[in-house]
A = this chain, B = another copy of it.
Amino acid sequence: MLQALIDEFGADAVISGSEIAERATSYWDSSSTEAKALLRLTSTEQVSRAMQMCAAQNQTVVVQGGLTGVVGGAVATADDIIISLERMNQIESVDAMDGVAVIQAGAILQTVQEQLAEQGFLFPLDLGARGSCTIGGTVATNAGGINVLRYGMMRNLVLGLEVVMADGTVISSMNQMLKNNTGYDLKQLFIGSEGTLGIVTRVVVKLFPMPKSRQTAMFAAESFDAVVKTLKTMQSELAGTLSAYEVMWNNYYKSVTYEGAHKAPMDRDYPFYVIAEAEGADPEADQARFQSLLERSLENGDIVDAVLPKSTAERDALWIIREDFDPALPAYLYDVSLPIKSMSTYVDRLDAAIAAWRPDAACLVFGHIADGNLHIFTTPFDDGANQERCNEIIYGCLDGLNGSISAEHGIGLDKKDWLGSSRSEDEIELMRNLKRLLDPNNLLNPGKVMDPR
């Protein structure tokens, strides 16, 4: 098989043995990657050919992007062949009149953002992993991040897709219009399926004109109710230009602003901190409106302190508190979703369960509340020994709150055993049926999301 792959794609494209072992399993796991071979392919046609060859040998395949996922969704075993799209990393075209771009799946998100910005376009998907994650990976996981309340998840930004199926068939649905109701919208099947139904090779995305102004603030509030009230006020008063509303509970804020970690922009004892951002078209008027809104909120007590950055560097110093959480690690990283109205109840339950577990335990909470999304870090980590106990606490506390065990991270390997707590048996059976239909021999990313029956 290895020789056949080298014959087909060239020695340069086929990595094996120690060369694979030099690669880390993921951003989060420095252990060696395992696989029979790793293919660095350069076109949809090559991926199609590779899948034909693998299908003929009943060879399992794991597709890898930036390896920043946190649920083990792209981890291979020694029995798998890895397909990497790292050499399919170009923006193929930008159509300025229609505001669309065609991008290869292996392109790095931040590179894409920057190259499109040079052409006057905003590609609004944005998340902490932007420097490593790939466009294909963000499609496969239906990535979310910090701008979802305004621009939606990756699903809402994808107009068209090219996908290689388990048998090598290429489904090319490279639509570039906002409206196209010609039969079933097949691309939706693949978005968020975590590489288990097909291999995304090229993507058509929707672009936005680059905003001419940006307003940022960090502020503090005394209660979760005040945090929600201020969100609602901003959503209403900023006429849909609010692009981020990141909430940090005191315990998270403290855990990343201690001496030697990030600099605290304001007192460390407020119950809640928020970073809010809006993007508009009129720098002066937008800033005035944003500022007067904050002043009113200060006056009526909804917020109790605020910092407005005066430069990009000052803005970055605020965002790093939210985005660089290394000072709070090691910890278990969770990502749940639930209605805003249930968040207080949930966090209260969590605090109680964590306290009941052991005296040195902690849970740090932050998240995109407008999206119904909380991230939670639990400690102590103890080399991973507490994973199962923490799962039980985090997922157990969701009981009856109409939440889900994954807002944006996906299921991968790590949450597979808990899928049944968020989806009904009928839903999971339909998922299995779809998997069997599209990948009858279970060749694509086997063992991820759910097991076939």
Question: Interface readout for A220-236 with B: 1 if CB under 8 Å, 0 if not?
Answer: 00000000100010011
**Given A183-B427, A188-B185, A239-B282, A153 contacting B177 (CB threshold 8 A):** no
> A329 in the interface, Cβ–Cβ < 8 Å?
no
Among B150, B156, B279, point to the contact of A156 (Cβ < 8 A): B156
Which stretch of A27-35, A335-343, A349-357 is in the interface?
A335-343
Q: Is the CB of B240 within 8 A of A184?
A: no
A425 shortest CB reach to chain B, Å: 10
Question: Interface readout for A233-250 with B: 1 if CB under 8 Å, 0 if not?
Answer: 001111111000000000
Q: Is the CB of A422 within 8 A of B209?
A: no
Q: Is the CB of B407 within 8 A of A171?
A: no
- List, in ascending order, chain B residues with CB within 8 A of A339's CB: 95, 97-98, 100, 176-177
- List, in ascending order, chain B residues with CB within 8 A of A182's CB: 404-406, 411, 415, 419, 422-423
Which stretch of A51-59, A76-84, A428-436 is in the interface?
A428-436
> A149 in the interface, Cβ–Cβ < 8 Å?
yes
**Once bound together, how far apart are the Cα atoms of A158 and B76, in whole Å?**
35
Least CB separation from A100: chain B residue: B339
- List, in ascending order, chain B residues with CB within 8 A of A192's CB: 181, 184-185
> A446 in the interface, Cβ–Cβ < 8 Å?
no
Chain A, range 396-453, C-beta contacts under 8 Å to B: 402-411, 415, 419, 422-424, 426-428, 430-431, 433-434, 437, 449-450
- List, in ascending order, chain B residues with CB within 8 A of A423's CB: 173, 182-183
**Given A188-B189, A437-B433, A407 contacting B235 (CB threshold 8 A):** no
Least CB separation from A415: chain B residue: B182
Q: Is the CB of A183 within 8 A of B433?
A: no
> A368 in the interface, Cβ–Cβ < 8 Å?
yes
Q: Is the CB of A95 within 8 A of B177?
A: no
Interface size class of A (residues with CB under 8 A): 35 or more
- List, in ascending order, chain B residues with CB within 8 A of A193's CB: 184
Among B178, B189, B212, B228, point to the contact of A148 (Cβ < 8 A): B178
**Given A156-B152, A183-B419, A449-B183, A177 contacting B427 (CB threshold 8 A):** no
Least CB separation from A405: chain B residue: B182
- List, in ascending order, chain B residues with CB within 8 A of A405's CB: 182
- List, in ascending order, chain B residues with CB within 8 A of A185's CB: 142, 155, 188, 191-192
Q: Is the CB of B184 within 8 A of A338?
A: no
- List, in ascending order, chain B residues with CB within 8 A of A171's CB: 424, 426-427, 430
Which stretch of A8-16, A111-119, A251-259, A369-377 is in the interface?
A369-377
Question: Interface readout for A200-226 with B: 1 if CB under 8 Å, 0 if not?
Answer: 000000001101110000000000000
**Once bound together, how far apart are the Cα atoms of A170 and B424, in whole Å?**
10
Least CB separation from A173: chain B residue: B427
Among B100, B176, B184, point to the contact of A434 (Cβ < 8 A): B184
**Given A180-B407, A182-B405, A152 contacting B152 (CB threshold 8 A):** yes
**Once bound together, how far apart are the Cα atoms of A130 and B428, in whole Å?**
35
Chain A, range 15-44, C-beta contacts under 8 Å to B: none
- List, in ascending order, chain B residues with CB within 8 A of A337's CB: 177, 179-180
Q: Is the CB of A186 within 8 A of B427?
A: yes
> A136 in the interface, Cβ–Cβ < 8 Å?
no
* 14 CB < 8 A contacts A-B: A141-B181, A144-B181, A150-B240, A177-B338, A178-B370, A178-B373, A182-B422, A183-B428, A184-B192, A184-B434, A189-B189, A238-B281, A240-B240, A437-B437
Give 9 A-B pairs besides A182-B415, A184-B434 with Cβ atoms closer than 8 angstroms: A100-B339, A153-B179, A175-B404, A179-B372, A180-B407, A182-B411, A183-B427, A211-B239, A285-B289
Shortest 9 CB-CB contacts between residues of A and residues of B: A177-B372, A188-B188, A239-B281, A179-B407, A178-B371, A209-B236, A239-B280, A182-B422, A177-B337
